[in-house]
Structure 1
Amino acid sequence: MNNKKLLGYVMVGIGFAGLGAMVACQKQVEPAPAPAPPVMPAPVAVAVPADPATALLTQSLNDAGGKPQQLAQFKGKPVLVNFWAPWCGPCVKEMPELSSLSTELKAKNINVIGIGIDTPTNILEFTSKYKIAYPIYVGGMGATDLARAFGNANGSLPYTVLIGADGKVVKTYLGILKFDELRKDLVAL
């Protein structure tokens, strides 16, 4: 290779190296845009109704089959509301006895309803497997807030609320029902 060609290649290489260094320096000199501050979601305010029984009876919830039902149909009647979930062992354990009790209570014009805290699919699958004599409604995860409004601070399940015909909460039951105690409370209605 001839010295002139070699010198030409070296010069071109030095030119490219110089150009690269110049571009690199310019990039370092330009201030980098400041990262955007993280956007924090606004706190969600959960409205706790002053009268959760009235709030409950103004709602419409889908039944296990997906058909919307007005809970106002229970207004002016005593109602036992059982918050439950298909994955909750104690909930499932108490359901057969609660189902049997609901049949007895129907003759006394006392209603039993279940509000499931799970997806519509899981609740439908559960109710298809097990025959339950009382209406089951899909509350989804939002039903946890409703149970909290009734005094269930920890969101534990099962949680049952006895509401009198006057729309006032008579008593709440945390955990698996003690049916002897519940029957005494029902007699007092």
Structure 2
Amino acid sequence: MSKKNLPVYIAVAVVFAAAGAYLGLHKEQSPVTATAPAGVTTPVAALYQQTLPDAKGVATPLAQYKGKAMLVNFWAPWCGPCVQEMPELSALAAGEEGKKLQVIGIGIDSPSNIAEFSDKYKITYPVLVAGMSGTELSRQFGNSGGGLPYTVLIGADGQVKKTYLGKLKFDELRKDLATL
């Protein structure tokens, strides 16, 4: 990322953060069910079909997380609220909850930007690179506006328990985790 492009990145980040905040405050998110008519792929099934590279380019099949509760966080390095919640997500993943829950970050940006970001910050959970296809995947989970951050709580049974648009409220998240 060059310094001459920094004002453009900041402007884009502000626009997305504002859109995410607006949608989070003005739209009630209802959980997406993980059941669908025969032959139709559910959002969770579509997630498990993905094999995404991590920040170092190593392919990670998401099917390996079947049968485990997951917290899937769609984010981008230029999204201020996304970056702000990462230390708490890292603490969650490294703490007691992390023994029962797999936290995954799905980055919506270029592999080089996510690699640069990952080198700079110490993140204790898998950070995967989806590029712009991550936006479409998040839309399958109900993120119709494509706002970031967008987080999906999936039970070990493969059912979507709750979705969160905007910066996570960790007190609320911990209450939701207690119901798993």
- TM-score normalised to structure 2 length: 0.76
Q: CA RMSD in A?
A: 0.9
Matched, 1:52 2:43: yes
Q: Could you tell me how far 1:70 is from its partner in structure 2?
A: 0.6
- Corresponding residue of 1:164: 155
Correspondence 1:28-177 to 2 at 5 A? 50-104=41-95, 105-107=97-99, 109-177=100-168
* Poorly superposed stretches of 4+, deviation over 6 Å: none
Higher relative contact order (CA 8 A, sep 6+): 2
Count of matched residue positions in the alignment of Structure 1 and Structure 2: 140
Equivalent AA in structure 2 for residue 135 of structure 1 = P
- Corresponding residue of 1:185: 176
Correspondence 1:17-32 to 2 at 5 A? none
Q: Could you tell me how far 1:106 is from its partner in structure 2?
A: 2.3
- TM-score normalised to structure 1 length: 0.73
Structure 1: tracts of 5 or more residues without a match:
1-48
Q: Could you tell me how far 1:50 is from its partner in structure 2?
A: 4.3
The CA deviation string for residues 50-94 of structure 1, in whole angstroms up to 9 with x for no partner, is 410111012100011001111011101000000000000000011
- Corresponding residue of 2:33: none
* C-alpha distance in 2 between matches for 1:133 and 1:93: 15
Which secondary structure does the structure 2 equivalent of 1:167 belong to? coil
**Identical-pair percentage:** 64
Structure 2: tracts of 5 or more residues without a match:
1-39
